[in-house]
Amino acid sequence: MYFALKNKFVFLIENIFIIDLIFVYLIWVVQLIVYPSFKFISADLFKDWHNKYCFRVGFFVLPLMLAQLLARALKFYNDNEWFSFLIVSLTWISTFFISAPIHNKLKLNGKSDQLIDKLIITNWLRVFLWTSLLITR
């Protein structure tokens, strides 16, 4: 059992580049296409659509974020690779303390161009973090 579990972690660590690449691709699509498109959804449809978007995107993003965090934590623990662990930790902080609260306000209150602009502007931090993680490998 231990050997099989250890092999899965080794596989995860050896293939972390793929997860990093997926995140860079995904965050740029979100930044340049998805978030700006929020402004083109009518106010009466926005709340329902945004709630569905947040729920569905979670199925893609959360498992990847957990895998990335686990892989980076293992690399930090085993190889003292602190830089990539720091970057991933900052993406988590940015996601759950900046982006998620804005999404929650949009879920509760509906469309707000001011909140959408704030989401777009603050999301540049995650774009920078995930892109830098990939290019500093």
pLDDT values of the chain reduced to their tens digit, one per residue, 137 residues? 445 555 667 777 888 899 999 999 999 999 999 999 999 999 999 999 999 999 999 999 999 999 999 999 988 988 888 999 999 999 999 999 999 999 999 999 999 999 999 999 999 999 999 999 999 87
pLDDT for the residue numbered 79: 86
Domain boundaries, the chain: 2-135
Q: Tokens for 60?
A: 């893609």
Q: Tokens for 57?
A: 């995107």
Q: Tokens for 54?
A: 């947040």
pLDDT for the residue numbered 11: 79
Contact partners, residue 130, CB within 8 Å, separation at least 6: 20, 23, 24, 27, 87, 91
pLDDT for the residue numbered 9: 73
